[in-house]
């Protein structure tokens, strides 16, 4: 049955979640085991490797947030860094613009304000920009990110050039790198859980039908515009929240440190390498690229990006559907051989 057909088959959200959990028991058990291992990791890792693990969690979560729109619906965004920067700066301005009883309260209010700002921006531009498809949508989103970055730099009140010093959230007894590692671990787990809920719901099947053939999905009664707008806003909010946490881990931000085009490109690379339209794919892609760039090739300085790019091209040529798409049929044949 096509994705549109499965979506039209119906079912309540709790029922579809229950079916999804039952159908993915193995993956959920694996995810929970990985979560436990990741929670214990800082006890055994050096400070450098904690920071590498922190980068992995951020990268994986951002790739999942991007993949809700790009991987599930097929709307590739080259400008998701717009929401990283917007969330970070709105939160920073809120936290430093008033006197708060505690850094934790300032962070909570800033997080809410940044998330709302991302939702508002996504909601305002969603209808016109989502009427574009393919490369036109991708370039339009790149333009949105460029405009926001320039506004941040040009308007003094936004402090894009001077920068913002963010309050330190880590307690004195805890290393900041370890604190932000656990904060990112929670954020990544929540992002993955939300992604799973979307994937097994009517919304998820609707997005897949849009990716397969949007015009046919609309003819079959799928509310394509509503699903695209909902997913665009959700993806923007998740990306903005992750951007806020990233900004706090830096401690000081300028427009150049958060409105970075490479953030958007990396999200695409991680999802493409791991497997589009999957949840585990972006995680695998992020893990491979972070290990390659930070540990294996990190000491090669000027040449490591060239080698990384060449390896990425080779991997994509060998597995055009991503690592998950390459491995899945092999595992299916292996399991079938033991029946």
More confident residue, 1 or 152: 152
Domain that holds residue 245: 3-7+47-260
Mean pLDDT of 255-269: 89
Average per-residue pLDDT in the chain? 88
Residue 187 located in a structural domain? yes
Tokens representing 30 are 């694996």
Query: Has residue 138 got a pLDDT over 60?
Result: yes
What pLDDT does residue 338 have?
A: 39
What per-residue string of b and e applies to 38-50 under the rule 16 or more CB within 10 Å gives b? Answer: beeebeebeeeeb
> Per-residue pLDDT tens for 9-55?
556 767 777 787 777 787 888 889 999 999 999 999 999 999 999 99
Q: How confident is the model at residue 339 (pLDDT cuts 50, 70, 90)?
A: very low
| Tens of pLDDT, residues 209-232 | 999 999 999 999 999 999 999 999
Q: For the ranges 17-21, 75-79, 88-92, 233-237, which has the lowest average pLDDT? A: 17-21
Q: pLDDT per residue over 311-333, tens digit each?
A: 777 777 777 788 888 887 776 66
Please check whether residue 328 lies inside any domain of the structure: no
Pick the more confident residue, 286 or 261. 286
Tell me whether residue 24 is exposed, middle or buried, using C-beta atoms within 10 angstroms of its C-beta: 0 to 12, 13 to 18, 19 or more: middle
For residue 213, count CB atoms less than 10 angstroms from its CB and return exposed for 0-12, middle for 13-18, buried for 19 or more.
middle
The residue count for the chain: 339
Give me the mean pLDDT over the 152-177 stretch: 86
Look at residue 64 and tell me if it is in a domain: yes
Domain assignment present for residue 78? The answer is yes
Is 324 part of a structural domain of the chain? no
C-alpha closest to that of 220 among 204, 199, 206: 206
> Residue 302: is its pLDDT beyond 80?
no
For residue 247, is it within any domain? yes
Alpha-carbon gap, residue 224 to 217, rounded angstroms: 7
pLDDT at 118: 98
Q: What is the structure's pLDDT at 161? A: 77
pLDDT score of 162: 85
The proportion of the chain whose per-residue pLDDT surpasses 90, expressed as a percent, equals 60
pTM of the model: 0.90
3-class SS string, 66-107: HHHHHCCCCCCCCCCHHHHHHHHHHHHHHHHHCCCCCHHHHH
Higher per-residue pLDDT: 304 or 206: 206
Cβ atoms within 10 Å of 1's Cβ, excluding its own: 9
Q: Is residue 314 part of a domain?
A: no
The confidence score (pLDDT) of residue 286 equals: 94
Give helix 261-274 / helix 304-318 axis angle, nearest 10°.
40
Domains in the chain: how many in total? 1
Domain membership of residue 242 (yes or no) is yes
């Amino acid at each position: 049955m096509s994705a549109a057909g499965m979506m039209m088959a119906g079912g309540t959200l709790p029922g579809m979640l229950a079916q999804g959990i039952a159908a993915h028991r193995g993956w959920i058990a694996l995810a929970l085991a990985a979560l436990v291992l990741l929670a214990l990791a800082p006890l055994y890792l050096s400070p450098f490797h904690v920071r590498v693990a922190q980068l992995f969690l951020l990268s994986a979560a951002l790739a999942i947030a991007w993949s809700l729109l790009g991987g599930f619906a097929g709307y590739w965004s080259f400008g998701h860094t717009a929401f990283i920067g917007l969330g970070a700066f709105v939160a920073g301005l809120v936290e430093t613009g008033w006197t708060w009883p505690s850094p934790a309260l300032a962070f909570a209010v800033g997080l809410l304000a940044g998330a709302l700002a991302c939702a508002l921006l996504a909601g305002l531009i969603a209808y016109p920009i989502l009427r574009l498809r393919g490369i036109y949508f991708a370039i339009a989103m790149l333009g949105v990110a460029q405009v926001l970055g320039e506004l941040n730099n040009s308007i003094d009140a936004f402090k894009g050039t001077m920068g913002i010093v963010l309050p330190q959230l880590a307690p004195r007894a805890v290393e900041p790198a370890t604190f932000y590692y656990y904060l990112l671990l929670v954020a990544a787990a929540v992002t993955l859980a939300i992604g799973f809920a979307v994937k097994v719901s009517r919304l998820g099947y609707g997005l897949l039908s849009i990716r397969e053939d949007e015009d046919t999905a609309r003819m079959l009664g799928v509310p394509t515009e509503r699903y695209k707008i909902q997913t665009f806003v959700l993806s923007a909010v998740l990306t903005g929240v992750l951007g806020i946490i990233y900004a706090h881990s830096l401690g000081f931000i300028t427009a150049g440190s958060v409105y970075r085009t490479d953030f958007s490109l990396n999200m695409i690379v991680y999802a493409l390498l791991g497997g589009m339209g999957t949840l585990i794919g972006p995680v695998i892609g992020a893990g491979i690229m972070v290990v390659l760039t930070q540990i294996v090739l990190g000491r090669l300085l000027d040449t490591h990006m060239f080698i990384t790019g060449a390896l990425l091209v080779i991997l994509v040529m060998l597995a055009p559907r991503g690592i998950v798409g390459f491995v899945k049929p092999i595992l299916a044949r292996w399991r079938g051989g033991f029946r």
